[in-house]
Structure 1
């Protein structure tokens, strides 16, 4: 379905989801292999991922790959990514041409790379088939937007040379070779390493596998762990005053991905600043310790809405129990954003006392 979409992808609906499933099944019976085209030479994370995402689709599962810059050879491909200077959302998925300004949606400013373009048009199908028969339009749309923002956008920005921070802000340290883009870059043949086209293609496939497996892990996390956690956060938020009269302490039976959902649910509920939770308690497993974690001022911030008391910070075990006056102390981080106790009751006492200090 999504090969025939116009440049601006329409809203995902349940009808579309059903149609995707039917068309995917029909495509499986086709026997002629498709041909994916991209450029040869030095490769990057975006086209490495674009090729892998296409091969996750039934239509391209057995597709062959042609890496070339020959225009005539590329025209013989069924789909072309990151080369050829064209974009139509059907066959051509390049972003290097003059005047290209495509973004993921009106909520984003980052110009798309070949990864973003393929994701924009084909990801709803990938997400629906990953979720399975229970996929519905709202779920697919939620993960579609979340995965772009949390994973794909950074690849788009990196390939298009967009800084994460204003140019006048100097980074505190170099990311060096720890980014995905750098890891893909390191898989390219060295400048003084003789390699033929077949050898270069093999290295590209290694890079594509690295990017693709990382993408699938992220996709599975958001489908199978992140999204199901929303219900638990919503329940904890709605019942928080039953747990403690202040409504400033949340409780989970175990550690779950709660931050994204908490900020979203707070905004949806229109909570005032003084109504927003300050501490989250959760167990580390049956018979194990409990944690108290401070809610940050924003999802990715290390600054807490209200850190644990300064006089507890950096202490452990008996020293912590003595300083806090609460038995069962395990630790409080030196920055005060997290701590632990041997029991839920102890962690709860730490939260209650922290509210008043």
Structure 2
């Protein structure tokens, strides 16, 4: 997904840094992320930022996002507000925002710039798609007013929210940056500008607003970079480990209900890969428990984790037996009939044993109860 050739030619003929354009005024999470993503590309690392709705100023920018009424990759224009706009990420259904547009066109190059994995390589493609699914798509949905669940269906079913998570969301945090904070107000007071009449000494509201936007962009960008690096350094290498464990699961249970993560693979993010591997094998929902060591030592204690119904959910395919829940140590060994019991959480989603053999025996009993 290379950068537009017209823009490359334009910038190669100029010694000045390129310019990223977006709109001024109230800002949202999508353009805050879009600007940060563009600056991860070598071409735009040192780019200037212009926040305006003036078409004549936007025309001078090398790349423009979330304003201008045009989506045209050949001239680096990435707006999604036009009436006829319907673009979605490949094989997805959520209409794109400026964040999704930038990611769709430049994401593979961004993955390469941050991780060193060449665009077009299989691992790069895995991360490109994974970051859209786990991070960028939520920005698209939020900016386009798309809810995770159909509100009308929820009302019809009589399902009500237990609490509001508005202030907890990424978009909620970005929205707070729209309102002046003490440090940005102070920075604006110190700035001196010249207006059209040549009068010096006025506070610069636009500069204050731009300062708040850049802080918002930095905030969402740090979250994005953290997510990408975690996926590249932890999630991606874990796939091979979990695939091997999934392939060999029948040696622990003839029905493949127990998966064992090797003890030397401490902290493996297994659940995400497990769902994908089950789907690839056409065996969704078959794995009930995952066993893994507390650390990478041979004498490590072992944990039993009930596999959630869905990724990140709190319901399990099969919770650990009710009689074991909230019980510890010798009492747990007695009620479970397995020596070396350490604990089972009151919620039944996780438990532990002093040894691998003990944890495996607990899991084998639990699948039959």
Instruction: Provide the TM-score with structure 1 as the length reference.
Output: 0.86
Aligned partner (choices 107, 131, 144) of residue 147 of structure 1: 131
Residue pairs, 1:83-232, within 5 angstroms: 83-89=67-73, 90-105=75-90, 107-132=91-116, 137-168=121-152, 169=154, 170-190=160-180, 196-232=205-241
Q: Is the Cα–Cα contact under 8 Å of residues 294 and 337 in structure 1 kept in the other structure?
A: yes
Is there any run of 5+ residues in structure 1 with no aligned partner, and where? 7-22
- Gap change, CA 1:86 and 1:226, over 3 Å in 2: same
Q: For the aligned residues, what is the CA RMSD?
A: 2.6
Rg bigger for which structure?
A: 2
Cα 1:174/1:28, change in 2 over 3 Å: farther
Deviations 1:127-152 (A, max 9, x none): 12333266652212111111101111
Aligned to 1:3: 3
Cα shift at 1:28: 10
CA distance in 2, matches of 1:135, 1:228: 18
How far apart, CA to CA, are the structure 1 residues paired with 2:332 and 2:321? Answer: 11
Number of the residue aligned with 2:45: 61
Report how far residue 223 of structure 1 moved.
Answer: 1.5
Structure 2 CA distance for aligned equivalents of residues 75 and 95 of structure 1: 17
Distance 2:14 2:241 in 1: 43
Taking a change above 3 Å as real, the CA distance of residues 127 and 30 of structure 1, as seen in their structure-2 partners, is: farther
Q: What is the CA-CA distance between 1:221 and the residue it aligns to? A: 1.6
Instruction: Name the TM-score, length of structure 2 as normaliser.
Output: 0.84
CA shift, 1:313, in A, is 1.2
Give the Å deviation of 1:165: 1.3
SS of the aligned residue for 1:291 comes to strand
State how far apart, in whole Å, the 1-side matches of 2:313 and 2:18 are. Answer: 45
Work out whether residues 40 and 114 of structure 2, in 8 Å CA contact, stay in contact via their aligned partners in 1: no
Is it true that 1:343 corresponds to 2:352 in the alignment? no
Q: Deviations over 1:283-315 (max 9, x none)?
A: 111354311011223324333222211111122
Correspondence list, 1:268-279, <5 A: 268-271=280-283, 276-279=286-289
Please state if 1:281 is matched with 2:291.
yes
1:76 matches 2:60: yes
The question of 1:49 aligning with 2:33 is answered yes
Q: May I ask how many residue pairs the two structures share in their alignment?
A: 335
CA contact (8 A) 2:111 2:117 kept: no
* Per-residue CA distance 1:145-173 (angstroms, 9 max, x = gap): 11101111111000111111111323222
Question: Partners of 1:84 and 1:257 in 2: how far apart?
Answer: 42
Supply the distance in 2 between the matched residues of 1:44 and 1:173 (Cα, whole angstroms). Answer: 23
Q: Deviations over 1:160-207 (max 9, x none)?
A: 111111113232221031111111111112599897111111111111
Structure 2: runs of 5 or more not aligned: 155-159, 186-202
